[in-house]
Amino acid sequence: MQIFTTISEVRAWRKENSHVAFVPTMGNLHAGHLQLVRQAKKHADKVIVSIFVNPTQFGINEDFSTYPRTEIRDCELLENENCDAVFLPSIETIYSPTAQTTVSVSEISQNFCGASRAGHFDGVATVVCKLFNIVQPDVALFGLKDFQQFAVIQTMVRDLHLPVELIGVPTVRESDGLAMSSRNGYLTESEREIAPQLYKTLQKARENLSTKTIFEIEKIAISELENTEFIVDYFKVARRSDLKFATENDGNLIILAAAKLGKTRLIDNL
């Protein structure tokens, strides 16, 4: 497995390989990330993973400075998965001090996490666009736990005519249903016991779609979560196609949730 830290190294490697899949990450890898790598190997001849904790997608008072950096362990895990290359850029490599360009995807970024994390999706779209331009992959894979993020990137790729195929990979879960996330490590022992309730509430909300109104489903779910120590950011039923709030006449739905448990913000969807 080759490890690159500069753009020129990545581009030289890319020229030598004809069909490349790309998995962008912020490191602190878990089984969900490794599943993306395994799926990537099915779609391309070579797989490259980036590890970059992107400062522009963190808001004020968020956890950029404390976000876990485990690059040595991450590279060992990737080598065990027969990953072909890893891109480990510095902040200065990705963001020039004189940079003046930001990629912003309007409308689909506005609700849910976009409403509570100002500028977050501008940071996501900008860094992913930069990484796509550096790596120039044929295929890129993202986990669907961050469904709004995937939708934002889909929209950006479509609108900017970027020559990359996006593949969304279903959420990988712990045995008790908790969606795997690098931030799960922040949970205390008691919080970790409570955390699976978020997924259970999503499942119950899905069952209730056939018998209750959307308003009732959302109200019940929020109440249940608040009764189990969650501080709910949002719990909403939306249309999968454009993430507009769903009406009773809509089909092809997604239920999206974000809530804090202690100091840890968890997101999930069904």
- 138 with 19: CB under 8 angstroms? yes
Q: Give the residue from 119, 127, 25, 160 showing the smallest Cα distance to 81.
A: 25
Whole-number pLDDT of residue 244: 96
**Same-domain status, 80 and 199:** no
Residues 196 and 164 in one domain: no
Residues 227 and 143 in one domain: no
Contact between 104 and 159 under an 8 Å Cβ cutoff? The reply is no
Considering the domain architecture, whether residues 120 and 191 belong to the same structural domain is answered as no
**Are 194 and 142 in the same domain?**
no
Q: 248: domain range?
A: 182-269
Q: Point out the domain boundary residue: 139, 169, 199.
A: 169
Q: Do the Cβ atoms of 108 and 215 come closer than 8 Å?
A: no
Same domain (yes/no): 259, 234: yes
Number of domains in the chain: 2
User: Dihedrals φ, ψ of 7, to 5°?
Assistant: -65, -40
Q: Are residues 140 and 191 in the same domain?
A: no
Packed helices 197-208 and 214-226: angle between N→C axes, nearest 10 degrees: 160
Question: Does the active-site annotation cover 33?
Answer: yes
Check 19, 30, 33, 161 and give the catalytic one. Answer: 33
In a domain, 253, yes or no: yes
Q: Are residues 27 and 127 in the same domain?
A: yes
| Start-to-end C-alpha separation, the chain | 35
- Tell me, what's the pLDDT at 128? 98
Sheet holding 264-269, edge to edge: 231-239, 253-261, 264-269
Residues 57 and 147 in one domain: yes
Of 169, 203, 235, which residue is a domain's last?
Answer: 169
What CATH number is attached to the domain comprising 241? 3.30.1300.10
CA 154 centroid distance within chain: 13
Residue 174 lies in a domain: no
Read off the CATH number of the domain in which 121 is found. 3.40.50.620
pLDDT in tens, the chain (270 residues): 999 999 999 999 999 999 999 999 999 999 999 999 999 999 999 999 999 999 999 988 898 998 999 999 999 999 999 999 999 999 999 999 999 999 999 999 999 999 999 999 999 999 999 999 999 999 999 999 999 999 999 999 999 999 999 999 999 999 999 999 999 999 999 999 999 999 999 999 999 999 999 999 999 999 999 999 999 999 999 999 999 999 999 999 999 999 999 999 999 999
On whether the CB atoms of residues 104 and 122 are closer than 8 A, the answer is yes
Q: Are residues 88 and 216 in the same domain?
A: no
Residue 34 to residue 40: CA distance in whole angstroms: 10
